[in-house]
Amino acid sequence: MDNRKKSGEILKNVGFTLLSEGKTIRIKAHGYSMYPCIKPGSLILIEPIKIKGPPKPGEIIAIKRESGLIVHRLTRITVTSGITTYIARGDSNALEDGAITIGKIAGRIVGAESTGENPVPADISINTKPRYIINRLRVIGVILWKKIRLIPYKIRISGK
């Protein structure tokens, strides 16, 4: 295992441990799954789920995954044969995540801070009706814009 992967594994385990001990953690958001609510580079505060009890639909939650934490909005809660499951989805994702139990929910997002990388504060308010298709189209537009902006730079570098 290389040092970068080992460091990532250690940080993931420290984060999970702190949350399980009732401590709030602050992490940097990556990716566009919660765009435009949470943009890449935003610093988000994750509070352990046990502090305020089970999450409600519309809240943004942090889900434990093998690779670390993923932050998505809780869309619905189902109870089948006495087992409660939670279904989440990124605000700009095409599909919902698979059903999980409360044990996979590490915490809820309770705050966000802007950074130099992303000066616009995240909107972590409860939202039970995100505009998934519009958000997805916005993400596609942002990614295309970033690629188009680089074309003149690539042309100058290659000398063509």
Q: Is CATH 3.40.50.2030 what the domain over 3-158 is classified as, yes or no?
A: no
Q: Residue 49 gets which letter from DSSP?
A: G
DSSP 101-150: -GGGEEEEEEEEE--SS--SPP-----SS--HHHHHHHHHHHHHHHHHHH
Domain residue ranges in the chain: 3-158
Backbone angle region of 53, left / alpha / beta, with phi > 0 → left and psi within -120 to 50 → alpha: left
> In this prediction, what percent of the chain has a pLDDT beyond 90?
52
In what helix (H) or strand (E) does residue 19 lie, and over which residues does it extend? helix 3-20
Tokens of 104: 């996979």
- Asked if 83 and 65 count as a contact pair (C-beta separation under 8 A), the reply is no
| Res 154 pLDDT > 80 | no
pLDDT at 72 (0 to 100)? 97
| Res 83 pLDDT > 90 | yes
For residue 100, CA distances in Å to 33, 50, 147, 158 come to: 18, 16, 36, 49
The predicted model scores a pTM of 0.84
Rounded to an integer, the average pLDDT of 120-135 is 85
> In this prediction, what percent of the chain has a pLDDT beyond 70?
93
pLDDT at 160 (0 to 100)? 53
Read off the pLDDT band of 86 (50, 70, 90): very high
